[in-house]
Amino acid sequence: MGGGGRRILLVVVSLLLVFTLFIGALAYSLRGVYAQPKPYVALVELSGVIDYERPLLGGAITPGDARSVFDIVKRDPFAKAVVLIVNSPGGTAASFEVYELVRELSREKVVVAYVTGYGTSGGYLIVLPADEIVAHPTAFVGSVGAIAVIISYKGLMDKLGINVTTVKSGDLKDIGNPYREATLNDIEAVRRLINGVAGVFAEKVREHRGDKIRDYREILRAGVYTGVEAERLGLVDMVGTLEDAIRRARELAGLPGDAPALWVERRVSLIDILLGRTSITTPMSGREPLAVEVLLMWPLPAELAGKTLLVVSSGG
């Protein structure tokens, strides 16, 4: 074979080698796509204030987002268990809707809740339907109750020389009117509201925790406890890490110890924003507080500081 033939052969061999390497690299990169699906533990993050609006940036928990990601998990037959990673101080009445969604999910999948930072007030309510609750030792847990905040601008209006006259059909029609001071009747009316909400919350605790709670009188004071204290009181089943929560989920679902744990999340697309499926306001801090806020939340949002005339709490 002449020099020209050897060069052609060398080029052909080189091309074949490059092609072989390319096919090998492509097969390696696609191995996860075409691999046989395996049962796994779905990891779902629920982080932020619970409200009906979702911010464009930042964390929040809304019923719509929770429903979307839970539906993804429920439709996947290989998602045998779910670990909810919760870090929430609670929020508005939307907490009860998220609670119902978690309860629906727990009817179809094994659910373990892991409280990593805050699991207080509404943030604790939403983990109640889980098969087990695991908390980090330093997490904040509890605040079983409701709180109402009445805001008054009357002192400021008096200083500015502004007088506001309210015409109403009944003496309780303008409860929470920020342009006057709250009356004893106002306070008692609001107290009835929050005691009603707190009563529903307490019923949920009794339904899901039962005799695991060692001292209901203490719990219903609406106190906040570390993960270690919460375990002692029966608010959570154990303290540990995320790996401990994943291990318990595997055990409860009958999965092997090497079953993978995969993150599942709902991504917000430009289409969602254009179609108004997501809000560009920040929950709680991005909207004007109502005259009376009935919240399942601890601690209270910072923007209420300095505006509070009266705080009526169901605990303590």
Where does the chain show beta strands of DSSP type E? Answer: 40-47, 49-50, 60-61, 79-88, 90-91, 110-120, 132-135, 140-142, 147-151, 224-226, 238-239, 261-263, 292-297, 308-313
The residue assigned the tokens 């169901």 is: 314
Residue 97 token pair: 């809707």
Reduced to 3 states, what is the DSSP secondary structure of residue 149? strand
Whole-number Å distance between alpha carbons of 181 and 175 = 10
In the sheet where 308-313 sits, what is the strand order?
60-61, 49-50, 90-91, 292-297, 147-151, 308-313
Residue 59 burial (CB < 10 Å; 0-12/13-18/19+)? middle
Does residue 255 contact residue 273 with C-beta atoms inside 8 Å?
Answer: no
Q: Is 169 a residue of the active site?
A: no
Residue 281 token pair: 């306001």
Does residue 153 contact residue 233 with C-beta atoms inside 8 Å?
Answer: no
Residue 104 token pair: 């629906």
Selecting among 121, 152, 279, 313, the annotated active-site residue is: 121
| Pairing verdict, β 308-313 and 147-151 | antiparallel
Whole-number Å distance between alpha carbons of 266 and 61 = 12
Which residue type sits at 302?
Answer: A
Selecting among 14, 173, 212, 269, the annotated active-site residue is: 173
Q: Is 121 a residue of the active site?
A: yes
- Active centre residues (catalytic): 121, 173
